[in-house]
Amino acid sequence: MRAYVVGGSAVKVDRHFELGYRDLAYSVLSSCEVCGDAEYVVVASALPELMAHQVDLGVHIVQWAGRRVPVVRVESGESSGIAAVEVATSLIRSGAARKVVVLGVEKVTEYPTYIANRMYSLILDYEFEVLRGVSPPVYAALAMRELLRAGFGRECFSNWAVRMHENALRIPHAMLRFRISPESFKDAQVLAEPVTLYDSFALGDGASAIALSSEPTGHEVAVEIVYSSSEVGLPAYARDRISELQASTKLLKQLRERFGVDLRKVAVELHDSYTPYPIALLHSLGYIDTRCDLGELEFVNLSGGLKARGHPIGATGVYQVYEVFKLLTGGFDGVSVGSEVGVVHSMSGPDNVSRVLLLRRWK
Amino acid sequence: MKLSVPQFWRVRESLYKILLTKCLACGRVSVFKRPVCPYCGSARVVHEESQGVGVVENFTKVYYKQDSSEDRLPEVVAVVRLSEGVRIVGEVVGVKVDGVREGMVVEAVLRRYASDDPYGVIYYGIKFKPLKQDSTQ
């Protein structure tokens, strides 16, 4: 049995102080025209216990939406969204359900940012890393320093962020729809030297839903989930280099070797929580050298990426799949790609786990 | 930061000592006491305590505010290559934040991580400070 994305929807990533988990979930389900007759719901969310004191979130969302379908919640840190798509795809392929809705939802603005930072840092190993003062931007800073020593210029990372903001201008659900310049980095708030706020993802609340079906016919458009794979990497402190994203590199190389995927020719959404990571990844795959010319990678992160579309932690992967689905089937307000193929890459922490999906337009 | 009493009791050894896991199958050494080798997956491992001396290989000055760190910022977190050949990440203290540099020889010390409240548990753990014999300071 094959699995197809047949539609979806997304709420603008933003500070939705007036909306809770259930409200955001209901909002996106209501706007998803093809999500109505699902036989199963898979909810992706990373932080509801910490942010909203809520266990078994999926059940409470389905009850709130007035439905009685079975539901399960999937949590795998920042990669929860793609992990949920993996589970939903398995449900379809096994024949357990003919139609499954994957719903990513996250609240990150329930507390002041410094408390949200603390909660977000728990994607790392609490006892071995967090207790010792290690946080995600610390690893990003150490990775950037490694890349700077390897010959990359600081402007390489700034240019990534500038481009993501430029891309986000045309994406309706993106959080940061404004331009920045490389010069603005000089005054940006430092998180961990040399990483600044402008090198970091935008933290926002969000919800996105996609509908998966075993049957592409009868739908206006459909995109097949051709392949999915995931890999757990070494802890960052156990690597020779923190910027060595072995799991992500291996998975994307597999896509190239098995399916002939060239990231210069397909729609790609890369996990760019911090600017060093996509640069390190594209370098290890051989797409860029230390001069950091991104010119040929025109279809990479047309959404604006985590940097500018925003990163509602556990929901982000569902946004990525929705965006690639849209790009392969018509696009956003004039943003489209000529390719029939799309790739989604997600990871949690600095490559602690990496996940990829290969998508292909069916019609 | 609030650890439960059982969790605090469980993790005390890894907070107060740098324990290493030596793999008898592949020969690699990893940091922390582990049941299996993270590199080859073998359970044929033995544990030993590090001497706690190493060299700063990489570091960052941290301003990222979390709810247990705001009274200490900025702080320096470094990758330290221990004399046993493995790396560990930890905070460097006992030196001005602008005084830390790559190649600096450091030693492990016990320092306060955080406390629950004025009357609560004080959490101590391993940090690093410049080794006195490091004449290059």
Please give the Cα distance from A220 to A243 (Å, whole number): 42
Q: Are A79 and A141 in contact (CB under 8 A)?
A: no
To the nearest whole Å, the CA of A116 is away from the closest chain B CA by: 8
Q: Are A318 and A178 in contact (CB under 8 A)?
A: no
Task: Name chain B contacts of A201, Cβ cutoff 8 Å.
Answer: none
Element (H, E) at A194: none
DSSP string, A94-107: TTS-SEEEEEEEE-
Q: Which of A316-330, B19-33, B116-130 is the least confident region?
A: B116-130
> What is the reported pLDDT for B136?
52
Does the pLDDT at position B1 exceed 90? no
Does the pLDDT at position A328 exceed 50? yes
- From residue B27, give the alpha-carbon distance in Å to each of A281, B34, B49: 29, 14, 16
To the nearest whole Å, the CA of A17 is away from the closest chain B CA by: 21
Closest partner CB to A192 (pick from B62, B79, B89): B62
Name the pLDDT band for B118 (thresholds 50, 70, 90).
Answer: confident
Task: Name chain A contacts of B128, Cβ cutoff 8 Å.
Answer: none
Task: Name chain B contacts of A237, Cβ cutoff 8 Å.
Answer: 31, 79, 87-89
State the alpha helices, DSSP H only, in A94-206: 113-121, 136-149, 154-168
| Three-state DSSP string of B46-112 | EEEECCCEEEEEEEEEECCCCCCCCCCCCEEEEEEEECCCCEEEEEECCCCHHHCCCCCEEEEEEEE
| Residue A197 sits at the chain B interface (C-beta within 8 Å) | no
Please give the Cα distance from B105 to A73 (Å, whole number): 47
Backbone angles phi, psi at A224, to 5 degrees: -80, 140
**Selected residue with higher pLDDT from A363 and A32:** A32
Token pair recorded at residue A170: 């045309």
| Residue A150 sits at the chain B interface (C-beta within 8 Å) | no
Please give the Cα distance from A3 to A99 (Å, whole number): 9
| Residue B66 sits at the chain A interface (C-beta within 8 Å) | yes
**Beta strands A341-348 and A267-269: pairing type?**
parallel
Tens digit of pLDDT for each residue in A216-268?
988 899 999 999 999 999 999 999 999 999 999 999 999 999 999 999 999 99
Say what the ipTM of the complex is.
Answer: 0.93
Please give the Cα distance from A329 to A87 (Å, whole number): 24
> What is the reported pLDDT for B133?
60
